Amino acid sequence: MKKQPQPLLVTKAALPPFEVYSGYLKQIWESHHLTNFGPLALEFERKLQDYCHASNAFYVCNGTMALRIAIRALELNGSEVITTPFSYVATTSSLVWEHCQPIFVDIETNQLSIDAERIEAAITPKTKAIMATHVFGYPCAVDRIKNIAQKYGLKVIYDAAHAFGVTYNEQPLVNYGDISTLSFHATKLFHTVEGGAIVCSDKAVGERVSYMRNFGHDGPEAFLGMGINGKNSEFHAAMGLSLWPMRDEIVRKRLSVCEAYSTIFGSCASVTRPVLPKGAKHNGSYYPVIFESEAILLKIRERLQEFNVFTRRYFYPSLSSLPYVKKQQTPIADSVASRILCLPVFADMEPALATEIACEIVASLKD
């Protein structure tokens, strides 16, 4: 392949036309309303709520804060929470930060999510919840997890940071579980520079989330309970509103890049890929490939760098190896984490470039 004239990174943030964003900036300048639930944040939140078909969608300052508030709103403090060892570090660190003990259950190898068949064996009298990640936007076994949660009276939080725009059985995936959280960080397919959301349907949980993300306020002079600064600004909401009309197009373009990769890897037995379960529609959020060994991964990563193409080891190392969690055995996650690489995918990327990268990888695997 040809060397890229500019470094090709694993992602490139989508940006709206400059005039559209500056139109919102003009509104902010005219109103002097910069933050604290201004008109743009409220408008963005309404759109989000409709899009998620949810009774509550709260726009917050980032996906990590969304997780922390979700844990608080479900009153999990001090409990054991069954979780996945294969996700971004924020999934585990939010639990520890909120004084929960993460109990890792190993993953399955189709969607790379927590293996629902192993969850029951990890439940103890201290277990209060399951926190799973729809990693790379591939849905967890949501029906099976719901049955287990009902049987044992557990809460379910889905870290849906990668799942904006994913549907499962015609429903937005964020509608599953007691709470789903989203991230709108600039690296995500749809973003507000920094940002996140908490989606839930239960009214009482929604009320707790609502005051918790605003310092616990109940009006200017009263407090319902303890809260934190979880709100987001008008400038961030303006980015969300500017990108809003582009969201389906972003997904469509990313999916065509993913398809270009898959056409080449489809006939390469030494590259494996997560599988989309029946009934799910993907969003093209990431393009992970799994090699047969870590040594091969390192060789491919180095080879692509020679062409100015930069990949990322999402997610490495597995979270059960973090220095602040109790040592636990998760051999499948450890193995996948050591062999998985995410390839560049973003809306502006030409599918032909994905084809070139995939061909280069396949050729290097034969060397």
Phi then psi dihedrals of residue 58, to 5 deg:
-105, 125
How far apart are CB 269 and ligand PLP at their closest, in Å?
A: 29
Q: Classify residue 294 as exposed, middle or buried by CB count within 10 Å of its CB (0-12, 13-18, 19+).
A: middle
Count the residues of the shown chain that bind ligand PLP, applying the rule CB under 6 A. Answer: 14
* The two three-digit tokens of residue 103, written as one number: 């109990």
**Could you tell me if 172 and 52 are in contact, meaning their C-beta atoms sit under 8 angstroms apart?**
yes
If one asks whether residue 235 binds ligand PLP (CB under 6 A), the answer comes out as no
How far apart are CB 315 and ligand PLP at their closest, in Å?
A: 8
* CA atoms within 13 Å, Cβ hemisphere of 34: 1
Closer to ligand PLP by CB, 38 or 196: give it.
196
Straight-line distance from the first to the last Cα atom of the chain, in angstroms, rounded to the nearest whole number: 15
* The two three-digit tokens of residue 112, written as one number: 């790379």
Closer to ligand PLP by CB, 112 or 361: give it.
112
If one asks whether residue 102 binds ligand PLP (CB under 6 A), the answer comes out as no
Closer to ligand PLP by CB, 155 or 185: give it.
185
**Could you tell me if 132 and 154 are in contact, meaning their C-beta atoms sit under 8 angstroms apart?**
no
If one asks whether residue 164 binds ligand PLP (CB under 6 A), the answer comes out as no
How far apart are CB 235 and ligand PLP at their closest, in Å?
A: 16
Judged by CB under 6 A, the stretch of 82-90, 123-131, 146-154, 356-364 that binds ligand PLP is 82-90
Judged by CB under 6 A, the stretch of 62-70, 209-217, 269-277, 323-331 that binds ligand PLP is 62-70
Burial pattern 43-59, b for ≥16 Cβ within 10 A else e, equals bbbebbbebbebebbbb
From CA 44, how far away is CA 47, in angstroms rounded? 5
How far apart are CB 62 and ligand PLP at their closest, in Å?
A: 4
Closer to ligand PLP by CB, 134 or 265: give it.
134
If one asks whether residue 161 binds ligand PLP (CB under 6 A), the answer comes out as yes
If one asks whether residue 318 binds ligand PLP (CB under 6 A), the answer comes out as no
Among 56, 79, 84, 91, binds ligand PLP (CB under 6 A): 91
Judged by CB under 6 A, the stretch of 159-167, 226-234, 300-308, 333-341 that binds ligand PLP is 159-167
From CA 150, how far away is CA 145, in angstroms rounded? 9
Torsion sign, CA atoms 255, 193, 39, 70: positive
If one asks whether residue 232 binds ligand PLP (CB under 6 A), the answer comes out as no
From CA 248, how far away is CA 63, in angstroms rounded? 21
Minimal CA–CA distance to 230: which of 71, 83, 54? Answer: 71
If one asks whether residue 79 binds ligand PLP (CB under 6 A), the answer comes out as no
Judged by CB under 6 A, the stretch of 139-147, 156-164, 305-313, 323-331 that binds ligand PLP is 156-164
DSSP string, 311-340: -B-TT-S-GGG-TTS-----HHHHHHHHHE
Beta bridge partners of residue 217, listed in sequence order:
223
Closer to ligand PLP by CB, 88 or 244: give it.
88
Look up residue 199 and give its amino acid: V
Judged by CB under 6 A, the stretch of 22-30, 86-94, 100-108, 229-237 that binds ligand PLP is 86-94
If one asks whether residue 157 binds ligand PLP (CB under 6 A), the answer comes out as no
**E strands, the chain, in order:** 56-60, 80-83, 101-104, 127-133, 155-159, 167-168, 171-172, 179-183, 196-200, 280-281, 287-290, 340-343
If one asks whether residue 180 binds ligand PLP (CB under 6 A), the answer comes out as no
Closer to ligand PLP by CB, 87 or 175: give it.
87
Minimal CA–CA distance to 41: which of 247, 243, 245, 241? Answer: 241
Among 56, 92, 111, 133, binds ligand PLP (CB under 6 A): 133
If one asks whether residue 196 binds ligand PLP (CB under 6 A), the answer comes out as yes
If one asks whether residue 98 binds ligand PLP (CB under 6 A), the answer comes out as no
Among 63, 137, 227, 284, binds ligand PLP (CB under 6 A): 63
Residues that bind ligand PLP (CB under 6 A): 62-64, 87-88, 90-91, 133, 159, 161-162, 183, 185, 196
